[in-house]
Amino acid sequence: MLTIEGLTKSYSQNGSPATCALGGVSFSVPKGAFVSLVGPSGCGKSTLLQCVCGLMRPTAGRVTLAGREISAPPPEMALIFQNAAASLFPWFTILGNIRFVLRRAPGSKAQKLETARSALAAVGLADFAEHYPWQLSGGMQQRAALARGLAYGAEILLLDEPFASVDAQTREDLEDLLAGVARQQGKTVLFVTHDIDEAVYLADTVVALTPPPAKVAAILPIDLPHPRDQIASREDRRFLDARKAIHALLRRV
């Protein structure tokens, strides 16, 4: 169980009054759940994610994982950035990128290589192991970043608008890939997006945030059967209702 309690973050630039990005956000992510975090752009979603995985110190409040407070990036979490091209090391091949993040992991070299290869296979990039990131398309780069997170063996995946900069078709493929892999491997997922449809389509629970200073506007369970389907699920009454509710919520606040 990942718990976020009263998380507050304000930036103060010397002299000027502090800008408050997060104004006391609280929610929790049960083990194995897929939680989408949706909110208007610029509402501090990325900041929240950075605080959750210990990259950034919150001004107040705390993040706990199974009761342990998080102050530095824990081995149980992997963060996947919006811009895969900027987060893949251009001097390593795709395989090299994965093996690099496994440096500190236990196990022999051969085992780690095996882990890396199976992660690549899971995202359908087995044939591209020896390619450099810039040789891949945007969608494939995002898959590679995902494979890196999977191989790391973290039980919690944090994703920061990972599909925001790929075309619509690729995006649907990636959504289904993520949902499938996460279910299959029993991952806990915290998925940040500004796209309400995407949030609803993927999640068991949607957490909607208000504009900054961000607070939780509502927590909605999504009652849609798994596995989901790009056409059927999106036409489902429950999908449409949830979508409508969140739209109304975000417009009101």
**Exposure on the CB side of residue 60, measured as CA atoms within 13 A:** 9
Contacting other proteins within 91-110 (CB under 8 A): 91-92, 100-101, 103-104
CB of 57 to other proteins, least distance (A): 13
Amino acid making up residue 234? R
CB of 196 to other proteins, least distance (A): 26
Q: Which residues, other chains included, contact 145 with Cβ-Cβ below 8 Å and sequence gap of 6+? A: 80, 81, 84, 87, 88, 162
Amino acid making up residue 232? A
Contacting other proteins within 133-172 (CB under 8 A): 133-138, 140-141, 148, 152
Output the CA torsion 198→201→208→160 (10° steps): -50
Residue range at the interface with other proteins (CB under 8 A); choices 48-56, 180-188, 200-208, 240-248: 48-56
Instruction: Give the x/- contact pattern for other proteins in 49-88, rule: CB under 8 A.
Output: -x--x-x-----------------x-x-xxx-x-x-xxxx
CB of 53 to other proteins, least distance (A): 6
Q: Which residues, other chains included, contact 24 with Cβ-Cβ below 8 Å and sequence gap of 6+? A: 6, 7, 8, 60, 61, 213, 215
For binding to other proteins (CB under 8 A), which residues are involved? Answer: 50, 53, 55, 73, 75, 77-79, 81, 83, 85-92, 100-101, 103-104, 128, 131-138, 140-141, 148, 152
